[in-house]
């Protein structure tokens, strides 16, 4: 039986739960602000609280793999459980791993996050295309088989990214636009939304690229990095309806009380709806 594509599942989740992605980023400083120790017990408590508070109401939860990996195998075990429980509660899980490599190594990354038999199987994963878009083929193919998605770095919110992403390709396009055009080709003909998304920072102002890729646009930078939902139409233009704004600290700082997390996530989701609809 062919699995339902990620793009279709994401569109439904955004329409019913609101277009919002909440990061699970257990920074040491954030654990401390919650009154938790920066150890495996603190990591587990933090992660469980976020999942229990939000997985039944937000469209996407995005664990940042690095903050779990730093605890070794015990941290990965916490991540595995979080992925399982978040998906069981109805949230789509986007693994923020930003993997990028070639050949069999990229294939191994794809098997880790995009194979349904993997304990870290997620609804989507972030990847880096700057070894060449073709290097992502193992991940793109694995995602298509499992009904998962891939979010490809295009124009990121960190200022250093511009030295690579805004460089000019041989045909005169920026490298970011070249990557976006590859994504558009992957999504051609998909409905209601393709499963290959782009990562485009919400802090960029006018992005200066064509974002019509027929796929989702993950927009980090809302909240602590300075962007607001009201900024989205200026950055994304006609593609704003496909934007999935990503908020981490802007929501997580309202913990450890579950009601505080829920209220903050709900407020951001309402603000995004208003910005996207123009109301």
Q: Indicate which residue of 62, 81, 98, 116 is catalytic.
A: 98
Q: Are 136 and 171 in contact (CB under 8 A)?
A: no
Q: Is the pLDDT of residue 120 over 90?
A: yes
6 sits in which H/E element: helix 6-17
Run of H or E residues at 219: strand 217-222
* More confident of the two residues 126 and 159: 126
At 214, list the tokens.
Answer: 């027929």
Residues 94, 101: contact at Cβ < 8 Å?
A: no
pLDDT tens, residue by residue, 29-51: 999 999 999 999 999 999 999 99
Q: How far apart are CA 247 and CA 62, in angstroms?
A: 9
Kindly state the DSSP code that residue 38 receives in the 8-state scheme: S
Highest mean pLDDT among 19-28, 216-225, 267-276: 19-28
pLDDT at res. 132: 96
Q: What is the mean pLDDT of residues 117-134?
A: 97
Helix (H) or strand (E) holding 113: helix 103-114
In tens, the pLDDT along 213-269 reads: 999 999 998 876 778 899 999 999 999 999 999 999 999 999 999 999 999 999 999
161-171 per-position pLDDT tens digit: 989 999 999 99
Tell me: the pLDDT tens digits for 175-197?
A: 999 999 999 999 999 999 999 99
98: left (phi over 0), alpha (psi -120 to 50) or beta: left
CB 240 within 8 A of CB 212: no
The three-class DSSP label of residue 239 is: helix
Q: Which residue has the tokens 């609280």?
A: 49
Helix, strand or coil, per DSSP, at residue 221? strand
| Cβ proximity of 128 and 173 under 8 Å | no
pLDDT tier at 279, thresholds 50, 70, 90: low
Q: Is 199 helix (H, G, I), strand (E, B) or coil?
A: strand
Q: In the structure encoding, which two tokens stand for residue 169, read together?
A: 């390709």
Assign 267 to helix, strand or coil.
helix
Residue 11 is predicted with a pLDDT of 97
Q: Is the dihedral of CA 197, 199, 200, 201 positive or negative?
A: positive
Residue 1 has pLDDT above 80, yes or no: no
Helix (H), strand (E) at residue 108? helix 103-114
Average pLDDT rounded to a whole number, residues 119-147: 97
Q: What is the pTM of this model?
A: 0.97
Q: Is 98 a catalytic residue?
A: yes
Residue 111 pLDDT: 98
Choose between 76 and 275: higher pLDDT. Answer: 76
State the CB neighbour count (10 A cutoff) for residue 11: 19
Per-residue pLDDT at 276 = 85
Length of the chain: 279
Mean pLDDT, rounded, for 92-113: 98
The per-residue pLDDT for 213 is 98
Q: Mean pLDDT over all residues of the chain? A: 95
In 3D, which of 237, 216, 233 has the Cα closest to residue 272?
Answer: 233
Distances (CA, A) of 174 to 98, 125, 188: 21, 24, 21
pLDDT at 224: 67
The tokens describing 76, both together, are 């990965």
Contacts of 53 (CB under 8 A, 6+ apart): 255, 258, 259, 261, 262
Q: Phi and psi (nearest 5°) for 148?
A: -100, 180
């Amino acid at each position: 039986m062919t699995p339902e594509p990620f793009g279709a599942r994401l569109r439904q989740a955004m329409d019913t739960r609101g277009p919002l992605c909440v990061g699970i980023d257990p920074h040491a400083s954030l654990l401390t602000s919650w009154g938790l120790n920066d150890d495996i017990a603190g990591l587990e408590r933090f992660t469980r609280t976020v999942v229990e508070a939000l997985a039944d109401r937000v469209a996407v939860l995005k664990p940042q793999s690095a903050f779990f990996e730093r605890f070794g195998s015990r941290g990965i075990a916490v991540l595995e459980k979080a992925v399982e429980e978040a998906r069981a509660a109805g949230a789509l899980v986007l693994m923020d791993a930003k993997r990028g490599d070639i050949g069999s190594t990229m294939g191994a990354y794809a098997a880790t996050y995009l194979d349904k038999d993997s304990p870290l199987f997620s609804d989507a994963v972030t990847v880096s295309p700057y070894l060449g878009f073709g290097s992502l083929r193992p991940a793109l193919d694995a995602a298509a088989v499992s009904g998962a998605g891939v979010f490809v770095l295009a124009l990121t919110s960190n200022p250093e990214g511009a030295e690579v992403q805004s460089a000019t390709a041989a045909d005169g396009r920026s490298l970011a636009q070249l990557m976006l055009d590859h994504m558009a080709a992957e999504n051609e003909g998909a409905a209601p939304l393709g499963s290959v998304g782009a990562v485009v920072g919400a802090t960029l102002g006018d992005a200066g690229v064509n974002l019509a890729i027929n796929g989702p646009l993950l927009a980090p930078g809302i909240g602590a990095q300075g962007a607001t939902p009201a900024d989205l139409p200026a950055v994304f233009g006609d593609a704003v309806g496909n934007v999935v704004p990503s908020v981490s600290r802007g929501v997580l700082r309202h913990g450890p009380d579950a009601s505080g997390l829920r209220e903050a996530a709900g407020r951001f989701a309402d603000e995004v709806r208003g910005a996207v609809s123009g109301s």
